[in-house]
Structure 1
Amino acid sequence: MEQDQNNLPEYQNTQQILKEQVVPQRPLPSLSLPQKSSGLKEANEYRSAGVLMRRLADTITQWRQQLPEDEEPAILAVMYGGIQINVERLAQESFHGIRIEGNMNGSPCMLLAHQSTVQMLCFVKKVEQQAAKRRIGFIIDGEEEEV
């Protein structure tokens, strides 16, 4: 007997986050396209976790510039098995490795993962009136920035 995906706990958590936090009927902000690489070295580097995170940081920056003051971009990391982390900071740990820092079910956490085992759900959420906009940190090639 096949179980409805919407009744599984990992899907309920995602649906709850999306229902409570995502701004409805908001089109995705427009984004500039990444530049194509021409050489073998550039093509190989294009597969690295650093390039993935640099592109994600650029995307978050572009989104932030296009959103009204009461909205902000957010990232939800989703791993195999349904583990979900509200991302506060991402760091490149190796060529393919990513460190994800954030919170899971309200508790602080950190996860080390291969970039192919993680999906990043980027969405726009409302900012509570009394709360300051939350920044997302990135550590790429040993340099830290918040976007």
Structure 2
Amino acid sequence: MPKEREHRFESAGEFIRRLAHRVAKWREGVAEDEVPVVLTFLPTGDVVEVLTIGEDGHSSVVIEGAIDGAPCMFISHQASLQVSFATLGN
């Protein structure tokens, strides 16, 4: 099976493991005076600061986070999840 097709069948758990590895690698390069944050974007345009990501079934993820400081939780299919890494200066 070609690598591209293989990725289509990966579980949400595998997606989260790969994402965690990528975040850890990215954080290694963050300066000491910066605060790393992980963000995701809702279809409404709201920006969510991601606090935790977990799997919800085979292909969905559940995200707990904050929108403008207010707690939130939502479930998304892993294929439609957009994640961004950013830093905030102190």
* TM-score over 0.5 (shorter chain): yes
Give the secondary structure class of the aligned counterpart of 2:26. Answer: helix
Higher RCO structure, 1 or 2 (CA under 8 Å, sep 6+):
2
Aligned length: 88
Matched, 1:56 2:19: yes
Provide the identity percentage.
30
Give the RMSD, CA atoms, in angstroms: 2.3
Q: Per-residue displacement from partner, 1:47-92 (whole Å, max 9, x unpaired)?
A: 3222221111111111222222112331111122323211011001
- Give the AA of the match of 1:74: V
Q: TM-score, normalised by structure 1?
A: 0.51
Matched, 1:120 2:60: no
In the alignment, structure 1 segments of 5+ residues that lack a partner are: 1-36, 129-147
- Give the AA of the match of 1:83: D
Q: TM-score, normalised by structure 2?
A: 0.78
- Give the AA of the match of 1:103: A
In the alignment, structure 2 segments of 5+ residues that lack a partner are: none
Query: Which of the pair has more CA radius of gyration?
Result: 1
What are the equivalent positions in structure 2 for 1:1-147 lying under 5 Å apart? 43=6, 47-126=10-89, 128=90
Question: Deviating runs (4+, > 2 A) in structure 1?
Answer: 43-48
